Amino acid sequence: MKKLTTILISSLILLSCNEDRDITVKLGTGNQTDTGGGTPSTSVYYTPTKAMKDVSSFPIGIAMSQNQASSTNFATIAKKEFNSVTAGNEMKFSTHSPSQGTYNWVPGDAIVDFAQTNAMRVHGHVLIWHQQVPTWVTNFTGTNAEFETAIKTYVTDVVTHYKGKVASWDVVNEAFNEDGSLRSTIFSQRLGSNYITKIFQWARAADPTAKLFYNDFNLESNVTKANAVVSMVNANSSLIDGIGLQMHISITTPSATVLNTIMDNVVATGKLIHFSELDVLVNPTGSVSSYDYATAIAQKNKYKEVISIYKTKVPAAKRFGITIWGMRDVDSWLKTNGSGYTDYPLLFGDGYEYKLAHQGVIEALQQ
Ligand code: XIL
C-alpha cells in the first residue's frame, strides 16, 4: 500500500510538471529566497522589490510589438521596468515600404506613441538588413544607379520621418559572415562593397543628431567576426557612433572568458556599446524538458554574468544600454529555438510572473 501511494504521488508530480510548466516543482516551502540555512527555494519566480530601470545607471530597453502597445499588462510592466524601446518588427523595411515610394508609418508610429506616453527612449531598428525586405527591393529590375537612388530615398525618408522622435538607429544589421567577410546581399551586390559607408552617410545627412549603430549577432562569441566589425567601424569612425551586439546567447555560450576578450576589442573603438537584443536560451540541445528551478538559476546566473561584464568593460559614458528582446517567454521569437526545442529565454513568465532571471539582472545592476 505504501509503495502504491508513493507511485501515485510521484505520478501526480510528474503529471503536474507536464501539464503546466509554469507551476514547476513546488515541493519545498515555496520560499522565494534561499536563506542559506533554510529550505532552498524551488520556485522559478520571485517577488521583486526593485525595478530594473531604477537601479540602472544606463537605459534598460524592451523590444515590443504594435499589439503590445495596447496591452494594459504589458504597459504596466514596461513603464515600471524599462526606459527604452525597440520595435521588434514595426520599423523594418518590409513593414515601412510595401511598394516603392509608398510608406506605412502606422506600426512604427504606434511604438513611438507608446514610448512617448511612457517617457521611454526609442531606438530605431532597423534601416538596412537583408531580411524582412520588401519584394520590390529583392526583385528590383532597374539599374544599379536606380537602385541606389531608391535605397537612398528610403533611408532618407525613414530617418526624416522619425527625426526628433527616434534617438538612435541600427543603420546596418548583420552585414558580416561568420568568417569575417562581407555578406553577399542585394545591398552589397547593387550598391557595392562600400555600401555600409553609403547607408551611414545617408542616415547621418537625414538626422545629424541621431546616434548611428552597426548591429550584428554572434559578436559576443565569434572573435573573428567581432574583429571584422571593429575594423569596419574604425574605417568609418566619423560616421558610426556605436556598436550593437545582439546577444542572442545561451546559458552555456559565450563563456565569460570569450566575452571579456571581445568586449576589450569592441570597447577599444571608443564607440557607444549596446547589448541590443539580449535573450538567454536554456534549451539549445533539447536537454531541458521543463523550466525547472536548476534551469532558472542557470539562466539567472547567465543574465547576471553578461550584465556584470557589460558594466565592468564598458566605460560609463559609452553604455548606451541593454535591451531585452521581448517581455514574456511566450512573446519570444525563440520560444521554439533555432534547434526546434521549446525555450524560455526572457525575464517574465507567460502570465507576467517575474522570473529569477529578473533578479539576476537586478543583482548585476546593483553591484
Ligand atoms: C526578429 C523578430 O523578433 C521576429 O518577430 C521576426 O519574425 C524576425 O525578426 N536579429 C534582429 C531582429 O536584428 O530584427 C530579429 O527580430 C532577431 C534577430
3-state secondary structure 139-201: CCCCCHHHHHHHHHHHHHHHHHHHCCCCCEEEEEECCECCCCCECCCHHHHHHCCCHHHHHHH
Band (6; pLDDT cuts 50, 70, 90): very low
Ligand 1: nearest atom to the Cα of 63: 3
CB distance 246 to ligand 1 below 6 Å: yes
For residue 333, the CA-to-ligand 1 centroid distance in Å is 7
State pLDDT tens for residues 15-65: 333 322 232 333 223 334 443 444 556 999 999 999 999 999 999 999 999
State pLDDT tens for residues 215-263: 999 999 999 999 999 999 999 999 999 999 999 999 999 999 999 999 9
State pLDDT tens for residues 84-143: 999 999 999 999 999 999 999 999 999 999 999 999 999 999 999 999 999 999 999 999
Q: Which of 333, 334, 335, 337 to mutate to test the pocket of ligand 1 (most atoms within 8 A of CB)?
A: 333
For residue 125, the CA-to-ligand 1 centroid distance in Å is 10
Band (199; pLDDT cuts 50, 70, 90): very high
pLDDT at 40: 59
E strand or H helix that includes residue 314: none
State pLDDT tens for residues 333-349: 999 999 999 999 999 99
CB distance 107 to ligand 1 below 6 Å: no
Please say whether the beta carbons of 207 and 214 come within 8 A: no
Q: Locate cell 576589450: which residue?
A: 264
pLDDT at 39: 52
Q: Whose CA is nearest to atom 12 of ligand 1?
A: 88
Q: Locate cell 545607471: which residue?
A: 57
Q: Locate cell 526628433: which residue?
A: 164
Mean pLDDT, range 291-297, rounded to an integer? 97
Q: Whose CA is nearest to atom 13 of ligand 1?
A: 173
| Residue-averaged pLDDT of the chain | 91
- Between 2 and 154, residue with greater pLDDT: 154
CB distance 333 to ligand 1 below 6 Å: yes
**Number of other residues whose CB lies within 10 A of the CB of residue 231:** 12
pLDDT at 41: 66
pTM for this model (two decimals)? 0.90
